[in-house]
Amino acid sequence: MTSNLLEIENLSIDFLDLAHRKNIIKNISMKVGEGEILGLVGESGSGKSMTGLAINSLLDKKKFITKEGKILFQGQDILKKTEEDLLKIRGNKISMIFQEPMLSLNPVQTLKTQICEVIKLHLTNDETKFQSVIESIFIKCGLEYNHKMLNSYPHMLSGGQRQRAMIAISVVCNPKLLIADEPTTALDVSLQLQVLSLLKKLSKENGMSLILISHDLDLIKNYSDNVVIMKDGEIEEASSTYKIFNNPQSSYTKELINCRPERKVDENISNQQLLQINNLTCRFLTKNSLFESKREYFYALSDINLSLNIGETLGIVGESGSGKSTLAMSILQLLKYQGQIIFDGQPLEKMNKKDLRNQRKDFQIVFQDPYSSLSPRLSILEILSEGLSAYASYTDTQLMTLCEELLNDVGLEPSMMHRYPHQFSGGQRQRIAIARAISLKPKLVIMDEPTSALDVVVQKNILDLIISIQKKYNLSYIFISHDIKVVSAISHKICVLKKSKIIEQGETTTVLQNPKSDYTQQLIKSTSFTG
């Protein structure tokens, strides 16, 4: 029987907001054994990340008050430790990987400098030993140990490399407990599999306990020993992974398990073509020269041929860097390209600026992160009105009416139009972004990873909304995602991209049930391991 490394006893935490006090963690208790992988699961706002931050004593003590309870790590209460004691524990005995490594890595320091800081603080000041320590952890985490990697800044690394770098920094001191907060949310399925396999490998090799925080129960199923389900700051259910998935007791747990995207697309669509892409190539100059023959280019897209009918959804899948977003930007005429893009019978590349501006209202985009794409200084009314006012003259009353209709379309109360983006949840912000995209009644909407950062419940609701709006307005979609489960639920056709080229395309059910390329088979296999 393994002893408990961590014990949380009757923990309650209040959040202080000006004069108000809100109970956000409500009398929770849980245990983590030595070498155990515990899955901490729940919707956004359930208290998962707050619990992780509390364990590492990273909550702002001016805003978060521990009402009662204990957090026992190796038998000692973390809550009673001084800041000096906590500095010796954080990054050494307890470490944490955050959801977005780009925000947690220092943008002005090289990878070598950042990992050396941790080594100096907790392991040794002897710089002659740094090389062997860094080399060892780089190899363990699947990072190349060379001058280029060591002296790279975070922005120079891919998403997978940044996440591996964050893991390397977190485990270089061989912590007893690692808290991984949504470590794979923004990664494609192949990278998800690599990162999760790495974490499991490190846990086994080092005898390290791991708290894996995620909203994805399917992912947790494959990588955790035990599971804790959280809802509204409380523990809804806790048990072994086997019991949670085979005999869940809570109705909420049952809802999460069954909350998978359902295929509801209308198979009876028009045969009339809306979009035709012929021999599309997009390249970027990497080495300039006076002589054309000596210039070097990076090809983001190579010889792409696609078509899309009215009312149809085309799913675009592939790993990060495959060219998915470049394809979207090319269609929107935001990048230079070679080839032909025919939209509604008109070749876009031959249009002058005036004609192209008039055409733009017919194709819109919804981005992955609505918080970044919605101006924080504008109210929802102002955000929705911008596009409407750019193409027609409306009175204030007319704009109010149109905005009310848009908010009703996306399932939001019209009274919300005077609020600002920060006053909404992630799912609500994505609904606002969709409302903005359909405000001009476009013919085509490009969805660039619109559900990747959402929990499974909100994700399902957004997908249902996207499908219902498509039926109402007969919209065509290009749906870009690394999540094959989502693409299979919403798409009529699917296109698989790899390193700028189309590997495979066809009817969604045909491609996924009988994939012809090894790469497509690998993507489907990776999906089965991570979800």
Distance CA 331, CA 339 (A): 11
- pLDDT for res 244: 94
Which range, 98-102, 115-119, 193-197, has the best average confidence (pLDDT)? 115-119
Structural domain containing residue 453: 273-362+443-530
Chain centroid to Cα 2, Å, comes to 34
Which helix (H) or strand (E) covers residue 96, if one does? Answer: strand 94-97
- Among 86, 138, 94, which Cα is nearest to 114's? 138
The domain boundary, picked from 439, 456, 491, lies at 439
Average pLDDT over residues 208-237: 91
Let me know whether 414 and 450 are in one domain.
Answer: no
E strands, 344-471, in order: 346-347, 363-366, 444-448
For residues 432 and 383, the answer to whether their CB atoms sit within 8 Å is yes
Distance CA 28, CA 52 (A): 13
Tens of pLDDT along 500-522?
A: 999 999 999 999 999 999 988 88
Which range, 161-170, 307-316, 388-397, 418-427, has the best average confidence (pLDDT)? 307-316
Distance CA 324, CA 321 (A): 8
Let me know whether 430 and 448 are in one domain.
Answer: no
CA atoms within 13 A on the CB side of 258: 9
The domain boundary, picked from 257, 290, 308, lies at 257
Residue 1 pLDDT > 50, yes or no? Answer: no
Q: What angle do CA 14, 20, 23 make, to 5 degrees?
A: 25
Check which CATH number belongs to the domain holding 122 and give it: 3.40.50.300
Model confidence at 2, pLDDT cuts 50, 70, 90, reads low
Q: For the beta carbon of residue 64, count every other beta carbon within 10 angstroms.
A: 18
- Among 292, 274, 275, 291, which Cα is nearest to 283's? 292
Q: What percent of the chain is modeled with pLDDT above 70?
A: 98
Residue 12 lies in a domain: no
Let me know whether 294 and 320 are in one domain.
Answer: yes
> What is the reported pTM?
0.79
Q: For the beta carbon of residue 87, count every other beta carbon within 10 angstroms.
A: 13
Residue 65 lies in a domain: no
Distance CA 8, CA 31 (A): 6
Let me know whether 308 and 338 are in one domain.
Answer: yes
Sign of CA dihedral 431, 435, 441, 445: negative
Q: For the beta carbon of residue 466, count every other beta carbon within 10 angstroms.
A: 22
Let me know whether 95 and 244 are in one domain.
Answer: yes
Residue 423 lies in a domain: yes
Q: For the beta carbon of residue 263, count every other beta carbon within 10 angstroms.
A: 13
Across 79-88, 172-181, 347-356, 417-426, least confident range: 417-426
Distance CA 248, CA 433 (A): 36
Distance CA 218, CA 258 (A): 10
Let me know whether 435 and 448 are in one domain.
Answer: no
Residue 313 lies in a domain: yes
- pLDDT for res 528: 58
Residue 184 pLDDT > 70, yes or no? Answer: yes
Q: For the beta carbon of residue 502, count every other beta carbon within 10 angstroms.
A: 21
- pLDDT for res 530: 52
Q: What does the DSSP assignment read for 484-528?
A: HHHHHHH-SEEEEEETTEEEEEEEHHHHHHS--SHHHHHHHHHHH
Model confidence at 456, pLDDT cuts 50, 70, 90, reads confident
The domain boundary, picked from 439, 454, 474, lies at 439
Let me know whether 240 and 289 are in one domain.
Answer: no
Let me know whether 42 and 124 are in one domain.
Answer: yes
- Among 389, 400, 395, 465, which Cα is nearest to 427's? 465
Distance CA 211, CA 178 (A): 6
- pLDDT for res 511: 93
Tens of pLDDT along 41-65?
A: 988 888 998 999 999 999 988 888 8
Residue 316 lies in a domain: yes
Higher pLDDT, 191 or 223: 223
Let me know whether 342 and 488 are in one domain.
Answer: yes
189-206 vs 518-530: helix axis angle to the nearest 10? 50
Q: What does the DSSP assignment read for 187-245?
A: S-HHHHHHHHHHHHHHHHHHT-EEEEEES-HHHHHHH-SEEEEEETTEEEEEEEHHHHH
Q: Which amino acid is at 160?
A: G
Distance CA 427, CA 369 (A): 10
Residue 250 pLDDT > 60, yes or no? Answer: yes
Model confidence at 493, pLDDT cuts 50, 70, 90, reads very high
- pLDDT for res 104: 83
- pLDDT for res 186: 65
Place of tokens 């009662």: 68
Residue 474 lies in a domain: yes
Residue 250 lies in a domain: yes
Place of tokens 């430790």: 81
- pLDDT for res 524: 83
Residue 336, SS3 per DSSP: coil
Residue 18 lies in a domain: no
Which range, 182-186, 210-214, 290-294, 458-462, has the best average confidence (pLDDT)? 210-214
Let me know whether 175 and 253 are in one domain.
Answer: yes
Let me know whether 489 and 342 are in one domain.
Answer: yes
Distance CA 373, CA 363 (A): 17
Task: Provide the domain count of the chain.
Answer: 3
Tens of pLDDT along 413-448?
A: 999 999 999 888 778 888 999 999 999 999 999 998
Average pLDDT over residues 382-397: 92
- Among 200, 214, 63, 187, which Cα is nearest to 452's? 187
Long-range contacts at 130-133 (CB < 8 A, ≥ 24 apart): 133/172
Tens of pLDDT along 308-367?
A: 999 999 999 988 778 898 999 999 999 999 999 999 999 999 999 999 999 999 999 998
Let me know whether 249 and 279 are in one domain.
Answer: no
Residue 466 pLDDT > 50, yes or no? Answer: yes
Query: What is the DSSP code (8-state) at residue 112?
Result: H
Q: Which amino acid is at 14?
A: D
Mean pLDDT over the full length of the chain: 89
